[in-house]
Amino acid sequence: MNPNTLPPSPKLSTSGARAEAALDVAFGDQPPKAVRRRAKRPISGALGLLIVGFWLLMALVGPWLAPHGANALVSFEIFGPISLEYPLGTDFLGRDILSRLLHGAPYTIGVALAATVLACLFGVVLGLVAAASGGWIDAAISRTQDALIAIPNKIFALIMVAAFGSSVPLLLVMAAFAYMPGSYRIARAVAVNVMTMDFVQVARARGEAMPYIMFIEVLPNMLRPVLTDFGLRFVYVVLLLSAMSFLGLGVQPPDADWGSLVRENIQGLGEGAPAVLAPAVAIATLTVGVNLIIDSFGARAKREMEN
């Protein structure tokens, strides 16, 4: 209630306010100095950015950089070791793993990214609508989303594949649907919080229409949690799609994403073949990278909140 009990924040002298300047100096009602913060970004965050940036680039240009075709049989040696010619070895048919990895990048990263964008887009819009409308609209949307959440993601993926067969468009839609409810929940919770803020009441009392309140007043204040959630959701989608491919229910041959590469080369595991480890490690670096970014992002968000 009373500002006097807040931990005193550092107040530096400021220039600027002319009319109130005298007042300020005399009575200490000073604005917080606009510190251009050069907050130390933890190394882990930078590392995460580097890894994720690299993979995003590979998703775009990977197939063109690949030394061989995705399905070209280039070696007689199956489960070949790491060599100069085949930097990540060869697979169970004697294909170049590096090339297959680069050709698989658009599937693993591109499909996951598209699905995450769809999931978050629908989740956030529905969350905003629910929070802004309240009443039975909110209840109806929330109930439906809760029902979708109640079907575990992998189970939902299985039933979709069982019903419609596996294809890239289906995987995309499936992943989007599977992760929309989570995004909706977060977006709605944040939006409901923001909606209770006085500036939203000010806009309502001004007579503003709902779309203005939702998109101009509320949405900009949701950006940080929504972005964090986007990153997490992307990780989940990558893991889900890889798992589906690993089960043989994801991307279908002759195309292959990283999950399929692990699956088809699983016999090489006994020999410790790079053919099975390389794609698995690729997935892990991508997801760990995103998590590192989120963690440093979250830590900074927290610091800002506390001040």
Binding of other proteins by 22 (CB under 8 A): no
Binding of other proteins by 192 (CB under 8 A): no
Stretch that binds other proteins, among 37-45, 60-68, 73-81, 88-96 (CB under 8 A): 37-45
Binding of other proteins by 41 (CB under 8 A): no
Query: Which member of 251, 262, 275, 278 binds other proteins (CB under 8 A)?
Result: 262
- Asked if 174 and 118 count as a contact pair (C-beta separation under 8 A), the reply is no
- Asked if 38 and 75 count as a contact pair (C-beta separation under 8 A), the reply is no
In the complex with other proteins, the residue whose CB is nearer, 69 or 298, is: 298
Binding of other proteins by 267 (CB under 8 A): no
In the complex with other proteins, the residue whose CB is nearer, 1 or 84, is: 1
In the complex with other proteins, the residue whose CB is nearer, 58 or 261, is: 261
Stretch that binds other proteins, among 32-40, 52-60, 87-95, 96-104 (CB under 8 A): 32-40
Residue 50: Cβ within 10 Å count? 13
From residue 209, give the alpha-carbon distance in Å to each of 132, 188, 201, 257, 284. 11, 19, 12, 46, 46
Beta strands in the chain (DSSP E): none
- Asked if 230 and 116 count as a contact pair (C-beta separation under 8 A), the reply is yes
Computed from CA positions of residues 211, 214, 219, 225, in that sequence, does the dihedral angle turn out positive or negative?
negative
Binding of other proteins by 39 (CB under 8 A): yes
Closest CA to 187 of 145, 266, 125: 125
Site residues (CB under 8 A) for other proteins, limited to 48-67: none
Q: For the CB of residue 97, give the shortest distance to other proteins in the complex, in Å.
A: 16
Tell me the per-residue interface mask from 77 to 96 with other proteins, x by CB under 8 A, - otherwise: --------------------
Binding of other proteins by 288 (CB under 8 A): yes
Q: Which residues of 107-145 are buried (b: 16+ CB within 10 A; e: fewer)?
A: bbbbbbbbbbebbbebbbbbbbbbbbeeeeebeebbeeb
Binding of other proteins by 32 (CB under 8 A): yes
Please return the burial class of 2, using the count of CB atoms within 10 Å of its CB with bins 0-12, 13-18 and 19+. exposed
Helices 168-195 + 135-150 axis angle, to 10: 140
Binding of other proteins by 211 (CB under 8 A): no
Query: Which member of 230, 259, 275, 296 binds other proteins (CB under 8 A)?
Result: 259
Query: Which member of 152, 211, 215, 267 binds other proteins (CB under 8 A)?
Result: 152
Q: For the CB of residue 148, give the shortest distance to other proteins in the complex, in Å.
A: 7
